[in-house]
Structure 1
Amino acid sequence: MGETVRVAAVQAEPVWLDMEATTDKTIRLIAEAATGGADLIAFPETWIPGYPVFLWSYPVYEQMQFVARYHANSPAIDGPQIARIREAAQQHSITVVVGFSEKDAGSLYMSQAVIGPGGDLVLHRRKLKPTHAERTLFGEGDGSDIKVIDTPLGRVGALQCFEHLQPLTKYAMYAQNEQIHVAGWPCLGILGNVPALSPESIMACTQTYALEGSAFVVAATQIMSDDGARKFPTADGGPTPVYTGGGGYARVYGPHSAMITQPLDPTEEGIVYADLDLSDIDLAKNTVDPAGHYARPDVTRLVFDDRPRKPVITPREQAAVELDSLDFNGPVELEPQDRLREPAPTQL
């Protein structure tokens, strides 16, 4: 058995639509996880200021009462809320992976930040493609966000929610030799009996990520209480109509896909811990490594463009992009078995 890494997965309720109070709670949970001996703590998707359940609850014209508050309570990556979280990471010498609604000028993004134990921002990413109704509120990331980074704990990566159903996105992560993966999720089951969005389906795809990627997967989820559901009231003051109660499914899966933590009750706030032996990954990949020895690049390959994209660039940047495009899209020398045969002449 090799040296272990202790990880902590959060299952908790944000202070809905309140970024200051949720930041305070984030810092308390960081301190709790550090006291519990954790080297890394993982928070859910859009933990700050809570997942926008109103997108799934009301027609668009009834959402406006929440949209302005959501914008006002979405932190900037260089704002005081993220700075406080970075200070807490440094104070407690712990790696923090936090999901938040990022405000950048007039746009919002479903973002994740990986903060090192020294308080440094080692990865800032945005959800590549917001899911369904989320696209009415959030912008998109780009290929530069699909990244696995070296840390003192191992190679760490993160995705959010239904990015775990995107086969090519997952494969791009697997190919970067990811060892510890953070899966950020909102409160599960908020859409009631929709099978594709059920907690069972969501945990199945999270577990599949561990199996396919031969990685440890740390899943963090939100919960929603009765009081929380009333933060998004109906006209008569009742709770949001998609509320089903609870929604917490924080857990950790090993590289052979077995769950290695004891789950909390879906309505209970808390932190689950797991001690990871990264040498277990070698044994898992010895059996199946879809982006390594088990791949068939002569049959199927992924073209992965990891360049950042911006809507406005300077002429100097444009020249660099064009030069880079020549390198990316230029002629490729094919192996003999890859070359297509000339078609036979058509007989008239």
Structure 2
Amino acid sequence: MSDYTHTFRAAAVQAEPVWNDAEGGVEKTIALMTEAARGGADIVAFPEVWIPGYPWFLWLDSVAWQSQFVVPYLQNSLDPSGPLHARIEKAARDLGIAVSLGFSERDRGSAYIAQSFIGRDGVTRTVRRKLKPTHVERTLFGEGDGSDIQVIDTDFGRTGALHCWEHLQPLAKYAMFSQGEQLHVAAWPSFSIFEGAVHALGPEVNVGAARQYAVEGQVFVLSPTALVGEAGQALFADSDLKKQFLALGGGHARIFGPDGRSLAEPIPPTDEGLVFADIDYAAILAAKNAADPVGHYSRPDVFRLYFDGSRKAKVVDRPLSPPASAESELAELVDG
């Protein structure tokens, strides 16, 4: 049974990644962890693919033009069992702060949009992958499976995480809610691509999706976002048109309560920083008393979700049938 007596302080990051530089990204991660711990935070959440930064090149030009970015991007993606991720684990242990980290995971030659949860003891509790990369992301990243729609036990109760437009997938959300989620990390890139032209990619829709997740599931939501600064624009935008497509800013970090209330004062979308909020799980009980879509407000006689949360092996080893003896082969011939 979930405990609703947890109280703690949380922080969400709004900052520019260190583009295509895993070493630099780890250093900046630890610096922000240190800042969050000094601010009294027990947990800090980082944006989608914070290391090595969101691959904005996928949205800006042809596949031929994009090819110059792919190898450096993969070279600077993280192995969650490798030494760079271990440095973040050590920092979490030294600072006594838990971390939800968004990163590009490299598994041999493949990449996945991943999130790890590292406890205050420096132990990684889980690594999950985005179930379905969005639109052009599918040209670079592979898919997760049902085991990546997960809510785990942590020092902060039942904790889960999703990336970006996974928050627009109603069935994924319902599967998360059904696992008793109390604290959720909604990790995003910046909201600066095609600004003013594609409304669905902008802050109004996507901040709204994080808020809706909070009120729909009656959970606290930490919603970190990255931003595009001059370094990112210089890397990805080699023309005035691309600079127009990829505007500076786009940071909209938020923290929402289970009634949809904003708990943290936003900072300007072009500024780096942290937003903080004090969390009290008693508020979840008040929110669920009004509407609990996986409890008293559900109608399983009308709607039910089929959810396969198992991990799928790419190779299933099956032993070959034992060879038939000469006698049995002869008997089969005679009988035939």
TM-score between the two structures when normalised by the length of structure 1: 0.88
Q: How does 1:149-164 map to 2 (within 5 A)?
A: 149-164=152-167
Partners of 1:226 and 1:106 in 2: CA distance? 30
**Residue deviations 1:256-275 (CA, integer Å, cap 9, x gap):** 00111100000000000000
* RMSD of Structure 2 on Structure 1 (CA): 1.4
1:54–1:240 Cα contact (<8 Å) kept = no
* Aligned mate of 2:226, from 197, 217, 222: 222
Residues 1:306 and 2:278 are matched in the alignment: no
The residue identity in structure 2 corresponding to 1:154 is G
**Does 2:270 align with 1:267?**
yes
Q: Distance between the aligned counterparts of 2:83 and 2:244, measured in 1? A: 34
> Match of 1:278, as an amino acid?
Y
What amino acid is the match of 1:207? R
> Whole-Å Cα distance in 1 between the matches of residues 205 and 175 of structure 2?
22
- Counterpart CA distance in 2 for 1:81 and 1:315 is 37
- Quote the residue 1:208 is aligned against: 212
Displacement of 1:243 in angstroms is: 1.2
> 1:237 & 1:15 partners in 2: Cα distance?
23
- Between the aligned partners of 1:18 and 1:156, the Cα distance in structure 2 is 29
Say if 1:272 and 1:16 are closer, same or farther in 2 by CA, change over 3 A: same
Match of 1:296 in 2: 299
Instruction: Verify the 8 A CA contact 1:13 1:224 in the aligned structure 2.
Output: yes
1:57/1:240 contact within 8 Å kept: no
SS in structure 2 at match of 1:307: coil
Aligned residues: 315
Distance 1:4 1:300 in 2: 34
Q: Which residue of 2 aligns with 1:87?
A: 90
- Unaligned residue ranges in structure 1 (runs of 5+): 317-348
The residue type paired with residue 224 of structure 1 is: V
Q: Deviations over 1:184-207 (max 9, x none)?
A: 000113122201111100011111
Match of 1:253 among 256, 267, 270: 256
Cα distance in 1 between the residues matched to 2:194 and 2:183: 29
Other structure's SS at 1:315 match: coil
Give the one of 174, 177, 185 matched to 2:177. 174
TM-score by length of 2: 0.91
The 8 Å contact of residues 6 and 157 in structure 2, kept in 1 or not, is answered as no
Q: Percent identity?
A: 52
Instruction: State how far apart, in whole Å, the 1-side matches of 2:67 and 2:39 are.
Output: 41
* Compared CA separation, residues 291 and 60, structure 1 to 2 (3 A): same
Q: 2:111 aligns with which of 84, 108, 111?
A: 108
4+ long deviations beyond 6 Å: none
1:155, distance to aligned residue in structure 2 (A):
1.1
Distance apart, 1:241 and its partner CA: 5.1
Query: Hey, what does 1:323 align to over in structure 2?
Result: none
CA–CA distance in 1 between the matches of 2:145 and 2:35? 34
Equivalent in the alignment of 1:37: 40
> What per-residue deviation string (whole Å, max 9, x for no partner) do you get for residues 193-225 of structure 1?
201111100011111000110000000000111
Contact 1:109 1:126 (8 Å CA) reproduced = yes
Paired residues of 2:189 and 2:225 also in contact (CA < 8 A): yes
Q: 2:258 aligns to what SS in structure 1?
A: coil
Deviation at 1:238, TM superposition (A): 8.2
Matches within 5 A, 1:51-130: 51-130=54-133
Deviations 1:109-160 (A, max 9, x none): 0000000111111111000000000000000000001111111222110000
Question: What amino acid is the match of 2:215?
Answer: L
* AA of the residue aligned to 2:157: G
